[in-house]
Chain A
Amino acid sequence: MTRANRAPTPEEFRTAARRWLSGVAPRRDSAGQEWGSGDDSVAVFENWTADEERAHTERIRAWERTRYDQGWGALGWPEEYGGRELPASYEQLYRAEEAAFDVPRRTEVFPVTQQLVAPAIRVWGTEEQRRSLLRPMLRTDELACQLFSETEAGSDLAAVRTSAVREGEGWIVRGHKVWTSGARVATWGVAVCRTDPDVPRHAGITVFLIRMDAPGVTIRPIRQMTGGSSFNEVYLDDVRVPDGDRLGPVGQGWRVTLSVLAAERLDSGALGLDNADRALALARNLPRPLTGGEQQQAADLVVRTLVQRLIGLRVTAALVAGREPGAEASVGKLYATATMRATTDLVQQLLGPRLAADTGEWGTFAWTEHLLGAPGYSIAGGSDEIQRNILAERVLRLPKEPKYPEGEAR
Chain B
Amino acid sequence: MIQLDVDPELLRQTDEQRQLRDVLREFLAQTCGPEEVREQSAGPRGFDRSLWDRLAGEIGVHGLALPEEYGGAGGSFRELAVALEETGRVLCPAPLLSSVVLAAHALLASGDRRACERWLPGIATGTLTATVAGFLHSGTVVAERGPDGWLLRGEADFVPDGEGADLLLVAARAPDGPRLFACESDAGGVDRTPRRLLDPTRRQALLRFRGAPAVPVGDAGEAPGVVEGVLDAGRTGLTAEQLGGCAHALDALLEFVVQRTQFGRQIGSFQAVKHRLADLLVEVEAARSASTYAALCLADPDAGEPRVAAGAAAVVCSAAYRRAVAEYVQFHGGIGFTWEHPAHLYVRRARADEALFGTSDDHRLRLAGFLGLVGDRSQVVDRAASHPEH
Contacts and interface: CB of A to CB of B under 8 A. Distances in A.
A295 interface: yes
Interface in A272-306: 276-277, 280-281, 283-290, 292, 294-296, 298-300, 302-303, 305-306
B133 interface: no
Interface stretch (A60-68, A175-183, A230-238, A308-316): A308-316
Contacts of B273: 398
Interface string B82-97: 0000000000000000
Contacts of B6: 313
A304 B258 CA distance: 32
Nearest to A318: B12
A335 B288 CA distance: 14
A321 interface: yes
Given A277-B1, A398-B254, A313 B269 contact: no
Q: Is the interface of A mostly helix, strand, loop or mixed?
A: helix
A328 B275 CA distance: 17
A320 B6 CA distance: 14
A306 B290 CA distance: 8
B274 interface: yes
B11 A400 contact: no
A11 interface: yes
Interface in B233-258: 254, 257-258
Contacts, number: 171
B285 A398 contact: no
A325 to B, nearest CB: 11
B258 A305 contact: no
Contact of B376 (A277, A287, A317, A400): A287
B12 A311 contact: no
A392 interface: yes
A388 B278 contact: yes
B355 interface: no
Interface residues of B, number: 50
A396 interface: yes
A288 B365 contact: no
Interface in B142-170: none
Interface string B340-368: 00000000000000000000010111011
Contacts of B363: 299
A307 interface: yes
Interface string B257-276: 11000000110110101110
Contact of A310 (B258, B269, B293, B372): B293
A331 B316 CA distance: 15
Contact of A396 (B12, B278, B379): B278
B299 to A, nearest CB: 15
Nearest to B268: A398
B7 A11 contact: yes
Contacts of B8: 10, 93, 313-314, 316-317, 320
B372 A398 contact: no
Contacts of A300: 315, 364
Contacts of A288: 375-376, 379
B289 A310 contact: yes
B289 A295 contact: no
Q: Looking at chain B's contact residues, is the secondary structure mostly helix, strand, loop, or mixed?
A: helix
A306 B4 contact: yes
A200 interface: no
Interface in B365-381: 365, 367-369, 371-377, 379-380
B115 to A, nearest CB: 35
A296 B254 contact: no
Contacts of A399: 258, 266, 268-269
A399 B271 CA distance: 10
Contacts of A320: 8-9, 12
B59 interface: no
Contacts of B367: 299, 302-303
A135 B277 CA distance: 43
B12 A298 contact: no
Given A287-B376, A314-B12, A396 B315 contact: no
A307 B312 contact: yes
B281 interface: yes
23 contacts: A289-B380, A295-B365, A299-B368, A302-B2, A302-B367, A302-B373, A303-B316, A306-B4, A306-B293, A309-B4, A313-B8, A314-B289, A316-B8, A321-B9, A327-B285, A331-B285, A334-B282, A391-B278, A391-B281, A398-B274, A400-B269, A401-B269, A401-B271
Query: Which 6 pairs across A and B sit closest by C-beta, in order of nearness?
Result: A392-B274, A295-B368, A391-B278, A299-B364, A310-B289, A388-B278
Interface of A: 10-11, 93, 276-277, 280-281, 283-290, 292, 294-296, 298-300, 302-303, 305-307, 309-311, 313-314, 316-318, 320-321, 327-328, 331, 334-335, 385, 387-389, 391-393, 395-402
Interface of B: 1-2, 4, 6-9, 11-12, 254, 257-258, 265-266, 268-269, 271, 273-275, 277-279, 281-282, 285-286, 289-290, 292-293, 312, 315-316, 361, 363-365, 367-369, 371-377, 379-380
Given A295-B373, A399-B266, 11 more contacts: A280-B1, A280-B373, A296-B361, A298-B373, A306-B293, A307-B316, A311-B289, A313-B6, A314-B12, A320-B9, A398-B273
